[in-house]
Amino acid sequence: MNNSVRNKLFIMMILEIAIWGAWLPLIFGYLPSLGFNPSEQAWILNAFAAGAIVAMFFSNQFADRKFAAEKFMAFSHLIGGLAMLALGFIKAPDTATAVLAEAAADKVSGIGASPIFWPFFGLMLLHCLLYVPTLSIANSIAFTHLKDAKKDFGFVRMGGTVGWILVAWPFIFILVDWAKIPVYSSTPLVEWLGKVFGTSKTGADFQASVQSTFLVSGIISLLLAAFSLTLPHTPPKPATGKSFAWLEAFSLLKKPAIFVLFAVTFIDAFVHNLYFAWTGSFLGAAKEVGGVGIAGNWIMPVMTIGQVAELATMAVLGAVLAKLGWRLTMIIGILGHAARFAVYAFFPDNASMIVTIQILHGICYAFFFATLYIFIDEHLPKDIRTSAQGLFNMLVFGFGPLASFYYGPKLLAEYTSPDKIVAWNKLFLIPCGAALVATVLLALFFHPPKISNAPAAA
């Protein structure tokens, strides 16, 4: 295919996923620092899930049948980017410490207790309502212009992995406590670099610097808004079936293979999002309270090790699909989650093993989620392609996160002792077991139809 077009799609994916990767890993510890109680935190975190659900019934309908996809992308990222930039200027009120203390004593509950909750939640909701549909639209644009999706989508989607990595590593330096770093000219280079890499901001100073993640995300969103206008034209597709694309997408659940895949995707999305909800805290917590004890400025880079591995995994995805088929490839992806959480559970004191096991993230994502998107594109009608992607994205980014962000904090609190020590060995067995259940369902009941241009089912 035209290399210029493929390269544009690659850059589109870099920017698309970098927007998300800039703010997601550190937001779980940042929200409490602003004085938000647990209920308010849940509402803010689930704005992303709300965006995925609304996208299924509204945004994707328009993207499929009313608007050129690249113009929808440009509009969404312009307004969503401005909302994200605004989030970077919201600061914790002077009462944040008092609110947190009262929340800990169960004196503050519900939403609206914090004076900055509504503006913060409103801006996050606006961003998510506009951003989440573009995840499906970006896939749809790519599949429309790729001549061989099984061969080329792995390369294009690899751009998203690159974007997540590129946006994470600068924070090693952004989150350094430069006040404690000696003057460069007065210290040997190796010693100076050691100080830089090993001196992270902590406590309130660290959380205050996390504000910059929203500014970075907003700037990238505005860049993608402009870049979207250079993407190949992807016109709307006139309806050939039901008036509402999402109704036709839901009707696909009558097919047994699609229904089983739908159920398994929900479980895998739940497990996948528990990784994001818990891993940052697990890595950053001191060893004395059951954590790994990694410096705050290294949490995001450590979590990108999986994305580095994902690059290699995505590069061979087409060959793996051709060799193993849909079902076995997806099973391997889900088992990656089980293996990673098993290591978390049984070896919480082994920092090197915990860091190394991040490599499995590449297999988890590419072998299940990327394969899922290719399967959808192969099997579902073209005029509802974006809505069909949105049907599963409703689970991946909607109901899966809703479940994990609702139960995640509750489970974490349940397995945390009064002296703040977390029983990680018991906690991580929950998503490990869920991943094993999903594996069994997929192995026993997923029998995808065979078509001439698709890999044979395992």
Which range (189-203, 282-296, 316-330) has the least confidence?
Answer: 189-203
Q: What is the pTM of this model?
A: 0.74
pLDDT digits (tens, 9 = 90+) for 349-358: 888 999 999 9
275 pLDDT higher than 70: yes
Class (C level, CATH) for 3-175+210-445: mainly alpha
Helix count and strand count (H, E) for the chain: 24, 0
Confidence at 272, pLDDT banded by 50, 70, 90: very high
**Between residues 239 and 47, the one the model is more confident about:** 47
pLDDT digits (tens, 9 = 90+) for 93-107: 765 555 554 554 444
DSSP, collapsed to helix, strand or coil, labels residue 200 as: strand
Which tokens is 129 given? 């309502």
Question: Which of 41-45, 79-83, 170-174 is predicted with the least confidence, judged by mean pLDDT?
Answer: 170-174
When pLDDT is averaged across residues 122-138 and rounded to a whole number, the result is: 91
pLDDT band, very low/low/confident/very high, at 301 (cuts 50, 70, 90) = confident
Q: Greatest CA separation found in the chain?
A: 72
Q: Distances in Å between the alpha carbon of 110 and those of 43, 295, 305?
A: 10, 33, 37
When pLDDT is averaged across residues 312-321 and rounded to a whole number, the result is: 82
pLDDT band at 217 (very low <50, low <70, confident <90, very high): very high
Model confidence band, residue 407 (pLDDT cutoffs 50, 70, 90): confident
Angle, alpha carbons 261-73-136 (nearest 5°): 0
SS (H, E, C) 214-281: HHHHHHHHHHHHHHHCCCCCCCCCCCCCCCCHHHHHHHHHHCHHHHHHHHHHHHHHHHHHHHHHHHHH
- Judged against a pLDDT cut of 50, whether residue 140 lies above it is answered with yes
Selection from 173-177, 302-306, 452-456 with the highest mean pLDDT:
302-306
pLDDT at 322 over 90: no
Give the mean pLDDT of 444-452: 71
Mean pLDDT of the chain: 82
pLDDT confidence of 456, banded at 50, 70, 90? very low
Give me the pLDDT at residue 105, please: 43
Beta bridge partners of 422: 416
**The predicted structure's pLDDT at residue 454:** 43
One-letter identity of residue 115: P
Contact 366, 154 (CB under 8 A): yes
How far is residue 340 from each of residues 168, 172, 268, 388, measured CA to CA in Å? 21, 24, 13, 30
Domain ranges within the chain, ordered by starting residue: 3-175+210-445
CA 202 to chain centroid, in Å, comes to 25
pLDDT attached to residue 258 = 84
Sole residue written with tokens 């489970």: 411
pLDDT tens string 238-263: 655 555 555 666 777 788 888 899 99
pLDDT of residue 330: 94
Strands (E), 321-436: none
pLDDT at 308: 81
Min mean pLDDT across 24-38, 99-113, 130-144, 411-425 is at 99-113
Distances, alpha carbon 17 to alpha carbons 31, 224, 246, 249, in Å: 22, 11, 24, 25
Torsion angle defined by CA atoms of residues 293, 306, 398 and 6, in that order, rounded to the nearest 10 degrees: 150
| N-terminal to C-terminal alpha carbon distance within the chain | 29
Q: What gap in Å lies between CA 45 and CA 118, rounded to an integer?
A: 13
Within 13 Å, how many C-alpha atoms sit on residue 108's CB side?
23
Q: Which of 445, 58, 456 is nearest to 263 (CA)?
A: 445
